[in-house]
Amino acid sequence: MDELPLKGALSDELLNPKSQYGILMQDGKIVKIAPFKEIETFASEIDAKRIDIPKNSVVIPGMIDAHTHICWAGSRERDYALRNAGVSYLEIAAQGGGIWDTVTQTRAASLQTLVELTKQRANQLLQQGITTIEVKSGYGLSVEEELKIMRAIDSANTQTQADLIATCLAAHIFPKDYDGSPSDYLDEIAQKLLPVLKVEDLCHRVDAFLEQEAFNASTLKPYIEKAKELGFDSCIHADQFSVGGSSFAVEMESLSADHLEASGHLEIDLLAKSDTVAVALPGASIGLGVQFTPARKLLDAGACLAIATDWNPGSAPMGHLLTQASILGSYEKLSNAELLAGITFRAAFALNLKDRGILRAGLKADMIVFPTDDYRRIFYTQGRLNPSHIIKSGTLIP
């Protein structure tokens, strides 16, 4: 597959699968991609270890899930049943369900329990072929509890072969038990939590939810500006139920604006003209029974579109990237090239990762092998076709 443009629409004609090629890997990186005979000769000269894959296989870069919430405790089957009975997401939250329900259960969990749960979910994603996973906090909503979650993510990262990219989402919703204003809360997080995350090297990214049940732009702006001063990248939960979040993300020069189900022409145009990645989360649309991110319009306008699972216990409990991307493709009429880009190198761009997402010499040797002779079958089967081999940093995952 030749390297594709970072932004805009992509046709499948741009894909140029190479046949009878081999990949030479060393020290976790790709050294050379060339016709198999050439690779075989070169490998024999350096006595390289060989990983054979069956004939009629397709190799693509390891998938990247650029938006998950997999560090949580408890479950929310009640919320799901209520939504299917016609109760809205915001109404459920007002009744004590929603994010606050998970906050309560996650606060009650020990650090080790959260490590174990996060590791288990990360390994489930890894077996799907997702070799890099962004993981948000946001179910602690206090300095102490958010720090516990961030430490759990950091510890889980040492216990899975997937790469976990941690993001601080202490600005998820305003905690019900906080004695002060939303501005007071965010200022406390900025002053007492973010510096500790820097000192302990727990993350380099912050996220914030700009929405009716969460925070508004005027409250968030000083917080994001402080985070930027400390050296954090930012991303924004934007335009999920109402607009305003994507324009704020562009103004703050955030790496990504995620959700975008409510985005209209103005928001699409702003994102297309910016370097902020539009991250579609079809799992949330499926889980909530609402419209999908306007992915086709975003791509046609020239935006960079990534696709992620939003795996969380409430609005997006599926946690299966290929299935979600395939469904989004059907509803939004996305090409295979656009889907593939959205879960590989465009997702890497959303995470500010320049060392993965493409099969190219010098980059991470993260790749997955599908048992098919036609790459189109990967999305055609909507997640039923599983990888036969997963290679992470040059190592075959058992």
Contacts of residue 45, Cβ cutoff 8 Å, sequence gap at least 6: none
Q: Are 311 and 301 contained in the same domain?
A: yes
The tally of domains found in the chain comes to 2
Give exposure, 173-207, as e/b (b: 16+ Cβ within 10 Å): bbbeeeeeebeebbbebbeebbeebeeeebbbbbb
Question: Residue 382's domain spans which residues?
Answer: 12-61+358-396
> What is the mean pLDDT of the segment spanning 112-116?
98
Least confident of 80-94, 195-209, 305-319: 80-94
Burial of 62 (0-12, 13-18, 19+ CB in 10 A): buried
Query: pLDDT tens digits, residue range 282-319?
Result: 999 999 999 999 999 999 999 999 999 999 999 999 99
* Residue 22, pLDDT above cutoff 70: yes
> What is the mean pLDDT of the segment spanning 217-242?
98
Q: Are 79 and 217 contained in the same domain?
A: yes
**Looking at the domain assignment, is residue 376 inside a domain?**
yes
> What is the mean pLDDT of the segment spanning 129-158?
98
Q: Are 113 and 135 contained in the same domain?
A: yes
Phi, psi of 60 (to 5 degrees): -130, 165
pLDDT at 2: 57
> What is the mean pLDDT of the segment spanning 107-121?
98
> What is the mean pLDDT of the segment spanning 236-240?
98
- Residue finishing a domain among 332, 350, 368: 350
pLDDT at 96: 81
Q: Please, are residues 296 and 334 in contact by the beta-carbon 8 Å criterion?
A: yes
* Residue 70, pLDDT above cutoff 60: yes
Q: How confident is the model at residue 48 (pLDDT cuts 50, 70, 90)?
A: confident
> What is the mean pLDDT of the segment spanning 101-127?
98
Q: What is the dihedral of CA 139, 144, 146, 147, to 10 degrees?
A: -150
pLDDT at 393: 97
pTM of the model: 0.97
* Residue 356, pLDDT above cutoff 70: yes
Least confident of 46-50, 58-62, 324-328: 46-50
Q: Are 28 and 141 contained in the same domain?
A: no
Average pLDDT, the chain: 96
> What is the mean pLDDT of the segment spanning 120-146?
98
- What percentage of the chain exceeds 90 in pLDDT? 91
> What is the mean pLDDT of the segment spanning 232-257?
98
Coil, helix or strand for 171?
strand
pLDDT at 3: 77
- What percentage of the chain exceeds 70 in pLDDT? 99
Q: Are 263 and 212 contained in the same domain?
A: yes
pLDDT at 63: 98
**Looking at the domain assignment, is residue 2 inside a domain?**
no
Looking at residue 380, which CATH number applies to its domain?
2.30.40.10
* Residue 16, pLDDT above cutoff 80: yes
Q: Are 99 and 116 contained in the same domain?
A: yes
